[in-house]
Amino acid sequence: MTRHLLFAALLAFGLHQPVGAQVQIDRRRPAPAKGEVSIDNSFGTVTVHGWEQHEVLVQGTLAAGAEDFSFDSDKEGTSISVDVPEEWLQASGEDPAFRSALAVFVPAGSRVEVRSVNAAVEVEAVTGRVEVTTVNGGVRVAGPASAVEVETMTGAIEVHALAAPMDIHSISGSVLIEGATGEVRVETVSGTVHVNGSGLTSLEVQTTTGEVEFRGALARRGSLEIETFSSPVKLVLPRTTPAVFDLKTFSGNIKSEFCAGTPVLRKHFEPFRELHCSTGPDDFEIRITTHDADITLAAE
């Protein structure tokens, strides 16, 4: 009788367990103050926080069907990885059951690298280099990172950092950069590009469709180069900005509050409208080329 009662109790207990339940994570390891932290989570979310502790803490949930979770460290750095079945990658990971949510706390000076297929990624309060690579998912980086590199196919990108340099690559999705200084490079196909900053020494933007706007102040020396196909371009600069302007559009218009009195030209046998002028020494060069969109220079 006792054995039958025990079996019944175990059966009842098993019926009340969630089938395919997610697994909770709460693990930590010592880590160097300026080591490398590598995070690989194909589906779900990754949130990275810089803190003053000399350790890495991982909290969150693993997808029910994840094959393995690894968390390793040595004197050089720390690696965190969620292994998933191969068929998930072929299915694009859209099923909510595929998604693992990781919150990772790292020493603030760490160099952080995040890799994903379909996940939203957020990194904040990290002072080291930040690199994020994903196929589909939004990326947000905030804080005093020493450098930022983001590569994604689809998803909005936001960088709120005084980082130099920044290197952003995207296929589809908006790009917003706040607090840009030093060198910034943005390459995308479709999606708006908005850059705000000061002391910028180099800005390079290449895009096909989507408005491009820079608002802020430039360094004494450097270059700004924007090339688009059907994207309107707008620069909002201090009225006293000294620079050499080289603007060209095929079928758009050029409107400028700089270089008063300098006409927009269309040369014989050339289809482009052009504006070439200078407001000071040639230490900073501004070159903008569009095919089918307007160029606007505004002073503030």
Query: What is residue 121's predicted lDDT score, i.e. its pLDDT?
Result: 98
Identify whether the C-beta of residue 156 lies closer than 8 Å to the C-beta of residue 138.
Answer: yes
User: Which stretch of DSSP H or E encloses residue 58?
Assistant: strand 55-62
Q: Which residues contact 182 (CB under 8 A, 6 or more apart)?
A: 163, 164, 165, 166, 199, 200, 201, 202
Query: What is residue 98's predicted lDDT score, i.e. its pLDDT?
Result: 82
Q: How many CB atoms lie within 10 A of CB 136?
A: 20
Query: What is residue 267's predicted lDDT score, i.e. its pLDDT?
Result: 65
Q: Give the residue from 118, 102, 112, 227 showing the smallest Cα distance to 163.
A: 112
Instruction: Name the pTM for this structure.
Output: 0.88
- What are the backbone angles phi and psi of residue 103, rounded to the nearest 5°? -115, 115
Identify whether the C-beta of residue 157 lies closer than 8 Å to the C-beta of residue 138.
Answer: yes
Q: Which residue has the tokens 């009788």?
A: 1
* 3-class SS of residue 71: strand
Instruction: Report the length, in residues, of the chain.
Output: 300
Can you spell out the DSSP letters for 13-50? HHHTSPTT--EEEEEEEE--TT-EEEEEESEEEEEEEE
Q: Give the residue from 144, 141, 149, 132 showing the smallest Cα distance to 186.
A: 149
Query: What is residue 94's predicted lDDT score, i.e. its pLDDT?
Result: 61
250 Rama class: left (phi>0) / alpha (psi -120 to 50) / beta: alpha
Average pLDDT by consecutive 10-residue portion of the chain (300 residues)?
37 37 90 96 96 97 90 92 81 71 97 95 97 95 95 96 88 95 94 95 95 96 96 96 95 91 74 89 94 94
What b/e sequence results for 224-253 when a residue is b if at least 16 CB atoms lie within 10 Å of its CB, and e otherwise? bbbbbeebbbbbebeeebebbbbbbbeebe
